[in-house]
A and B are shown apart, each in its own frame.
Chain A
Amino acid sequence: MDSLASLFSLSTLSVRAAEAQLLSLNEKSQEYGLTLTPEDAVALMQTRVQALNASGRVEIGSATVGRLAEAFCDSCWINQTHYAETLHELVELFYEMKNETEDRVSDAELIAFMKECFEDRCGGSLELLSGRELEKLAENVRFGAADYFDLSRETRFEEDRFAEEEEAGERDSGLTEEGGYE
């Protein structure tokens, strides 16, 4: 039975399950006036596939897209005009962050974190979410912070950087080591 492997490949298995789950995306979002057209849903699946490929990941089924839609559909910053576009970016960000956080953050935690930051700290800005809050989360994971989601914590990188800036500032102002001026 050395021919069994020929029946199965990751790409075949992933696409089959995603096709089965994709059409249920609108069930909850309709309550908030947000819907995806069939064309939007197909495009989202393509974005999902591209994002998975770009991040070197595999997902059986499209559970993540559904969970993102469900989490963000009640956002006060999203309207029908930008709904699909926002979901595309969130899907890309999500898979990128799964790698950046070294799979140490669960799907549920990451989606909840993205929603909370998007809604409160970032004022609906995906640019801020990506470049600031999520970057901070990735740093916390890389530097082994006890609480990955503590955004107030300075990372070792920032501590070193602040120390260098402080030292440079003291040099510029002429402060000596003893605290006096030259």
Chain B
Amino acid sequence: MNNSLSLFLTPEETAALQLRMTGLLAEEVLRFNGGQSSSIRTEAAQSLLESILYAVTAYLDTLPDPPAALKTRDIGELREQGIVLLRRYTDECRALLPKVRATRVQTELIAYNHTVGECFGEAFFRVYDPRFQAQAAPAGPIDYPLYRDDWSVTGILYVRNYLTQLLRENEFCARFPKNRIRALLLAHGLKHRIDYREMLQNIPELIIEGAPEQERPALEHMLTD
């Protein structure tokens, strides 16, 4: 058992939680099969279990005391709340994407343009299923690095964080002339002897590095919560 959770759950509580999860997974297997079969392929069962855990974890992380909630509330109810939360996040991502594209930086940076233009398709949000595949993520790699990237989360939680931050960075970059941004990218490419268009480089990071030292804290503050 993971050391952090063992501090909060007694062996009896852990056993009770596992038994409840057994029932929950059995219900989901039947629901997944349309009530037709009590057994499924191992890969499908593993995916279902990961989906349940993803939704539960997503919801618990919004609570002030997650271990206490895990001890006192039914995990099935936590999971349903998680599904509602993930559906809301999906809607938020759908609303963020056109804003990100509308504010996109005019640049020839390939990774940036690919990420903004192609990584987050409407198809992903349309088929995203928080019940049976809550843990799903967009198929393609998200190459463009953010100024502050949160890799502690995955799937739709990561997408939401990413789009929120990218919009913030786009609005930051809009304060600076396009030519200045291009000059910074070009100089960075020359310094490292590579075509700047192929760099995996965060644009605000270059802007901040190129700014006078006394201005950098204020600029950084614009990019973080």
Q: Which residues of A contact B (CB under 8 A)?
A: 1-8, 10, 12-14, 16-17, 52, 56-61, 63-64, 95, 98-99, 103, 106-108
Instruction: Tell me whether A2 and B152 are in contact (CB under 8 A).
Output: yes
CB of B116 to closest CB in A, whole Å: 29
Count of CB-CB pairs between chains A and B under 8 Å: 98
Selected from B4, B17, B21, B42, the residue in CB contact (under 8 A) with A57 is B42
Number of B residues contacting the other chain (C-beta, 8 Å)? 36
Given A1-B66, A7-B1, A10-B45: A17 and B38 interface contact (C-beta under 8 Å): no
- A57 to B37: give the CA distance in the assembly, Å: 11
CB of A108 to closest CB in B, whole Å: 8
B57 interface hit (Cβ, 8 Å): yes
CB of A67 to closest CB in B, whole Å: 8
Instruction: Tell me whether B38 and A10 are in contact (CB under 8 A).
Output: no
25 pairs, A vs B, C-beta closer than 8 Å: A1-B57, A1-B60, A1-B61, A1-B66, A4-B5, A4-B60, A5-B50, A7-B1, A7-B18, A7-B21, A10-B45, A13-B21, A16-B18, A17-B23, A56-B41, A57-B40, A57-B41, A57-B45, A58-B39, A59-B38, A59-B40, A60-B22, A103-B33, A103-B40, A106-B37
Write out the residue numbers on chain A whose beta carbons fall within 8 Å of the beta carbon of B25: 13, 60
Contact with A along B1-43 (1 / 0, CB 8 A): 1101100010000100111011101100100010011111111
B181 interface hit (Cβ, 8 Å): no
| 14 further A-B pairs in the complex, CB-CB below 8 A; given A7-B18, A58-B40 | A3-B5, A6-B1, A7-B5, A10-B49, A13-B18, A52-B39, A57-B45, A58-B45, A60-B22, A60-B25, A103-B37, A103-B41, A106-B33, A107-B37
- A145 to B38: give the CA distance in the assembly, Å: 24
- A13 to B49: give the CA distance in the assembly, Å: 10
B137 interface hit (Cβ, 8 Å): no
CB of A84 to closest CB in B, whole Å: 21
Instruction: Tell me whether B38 and A64 are in contact (CB under 8 A).
Output: yes
Write out the residue numbers on chain B whose beta carbons fall within 8 Å of the beta carbon of A56: 41-43
- A61 to B70: give the CA distance in the assembly, Å: 24
B219 interface hit (Cβ, 8 Å): no
Closest chain A residue, CB of each to CB of B36: A106
B56 interface hit (Cβ, 8 Å): yes
Nearest 7 interchain pairs by C-beta: A106-B36, A3-B2, A59-B39, A58-B45, A6-B2, A60-B26, A1-B60
Closest chain B residue, CB of each to CB of A94: B39
